[in-house]
Amino acid sequence: MKRSFAPMRTTRWLVTVAAVGILSGTGPAMAQDANTNARLNKVESEVRALQRKVFPGADGKYFEPQITAPATPRPAPGAPSTTPVTDLLTRMDAVEAQMAQLTAQTEQNTNRLNQLEAKLATMTPAPVQAPPAPAPGSAYPGSLPPAPADRPAAGPVAAPAPAPRPVASRPVPPSDSRVEAVRKIEKPQSGDPGEDEYSYGFRLWEAKFYPEAQQQLKLYLEKYPKHARASWGRNLLGRAYLDDGNPSEAAKWFLQNFQTDKRGDRAPDSLLYLAISMKQMKDTKRACIALAEFASTYPSEAAGRLSSVYNATRSGLSCS
């Protein structure tokens, strides 16, 4: 059964007649139609610009979307021309079709992006596993084996012996008899605190209580670094280490005393005993350098007060 389109045609004919009446009316109506036409042109240009963004071509050019509004049929020759209202309705239909297509394309792109983000969120990187700990007694405890280029060309590779663990040495407390002997050494009370601290260190050294003398002389130098006996104190501290069998630590204090004040009261003694320390350490080269410096800087001391020590130190050394 065919549907009757008479009501629709009648309605369309009435709209056309009304539009013709409006378009053929007064001047204000014509201006309103011109304004509507300008707005429609603007909407169409914006839709075309949006199409160029949604449908870009791979070669930099742009192509029209596959789904477009149906082309407006051209009237056959002799057919009545369309009215302005008919053209307006046709153009509106095309704009609405293009807007619907762009909306659908935008929704598809948004859906694809959401799916991609959801997929990326589930892709978590695998945790990095630490290398397994070496088994007890392995050839390379605590480290990776050497590269093949570092290994010997032939012969078995011997496993290196594990490094010995340092054993914390505990200081041996002094015996009761030693503590009592140290207490018997009186500390001077001359009214000069700096002089008294130095003199007490000297008395401990003279009594061969070398560790106690070292501790006392360091205390004196910390409290009175600019005291008149400072040169004596640094030199005597080196002597306390040297007499205690520690020439390496003694050499540090002798060198420091000489470099701090070469005109100090005990600077010549420190330079000469620096050579003695180097000699005990089997460092003949540095011992000879210190002796040559001593003879050049303090010739009167080398020929006078310290001559016996100087000659004894030179004995057994082949200094050029």
pTM of the predicted model over 0.85 = no
Tell me: do 197 and 305 sit in the same domain: yes
Q: What is the rounded CA–CA span in Å between residue 203 and residue 75? A: 132
Domain contains 211: yes
Number of domain units in the chain: 2
Domain containing 309 — which CATH number? 1.25.40.10
Q: What is the rounded CA–CA span in Å between residue 2 and residue 245? A: 127
- Domain containing 277 equals 193-314
Tell me: do 310 and 197 sit in the same domain: yes
Sign, CA torsion 178/179/184/186? positive
Domain contains 207: yes
CA dist 49 → 46, 52, 93 (Å):
5, 5, 18
Q: What is the rounded CA–CA span in Å between residue 87 and residue 94? A: 11
Tell me: do 197 and 310 sit in the same domain: yes
Give the pLDDT band of residue 175 (cuts 50, 70, 90): confident
Domain contains 78: no
The arithmetic mean of pLDDT across residues 174-202, rounded, is: 91
β-bridge mates for residue 62, sequence order: 56
Domain contains 70: no
Q: What backbone phi and psi angles, to 5 degrees, belong to 193?
A: -60, -40
Domain contains 131: no
Amino acid at 283: D
Tell me: do 95 and 197 sit in the same domain: no
pLDDT given for residue 138 in this prediction: 41
Q: Which is nearest to 287 in space by CA: 296, 299, 275, 295?
A: 275
Tell me: do 93 and 201 sit in the same domain: no
Domain contains 142: no
Which one of 99, 131, 151 terminates a domain? 99
Q: Specify the residue for token string 């036409």.
A: 37
Give the pLDDT band of residue 259 (cuts 50, 70, 90): very high
Over the chain, what is the mean pLDDT? 74
Domain contains 214: yes
Which one of 68, 99, 130 terminates a domain? 99
Q: What backbone phi and psi angles, to 5 degrees, belong to 62?
A: -125, 145
Residue 136 has pLDDT above 80, yes or no: no
Tell me: do 306 and 202 sit in the same domain: yes
pLDDT given for residue 21 in this prediction: 46
Residue 255 has pLDDT above 70, yes or no: yes
CB 82 within 8 A of CB 91: no
- Reading the block at residue 287, the tokens are 């011992």
Tell me: do 198 and 95 sit in the same domain: no
Domain contains 289: yes
pLDDT given for residue 290 in this prediction: 94
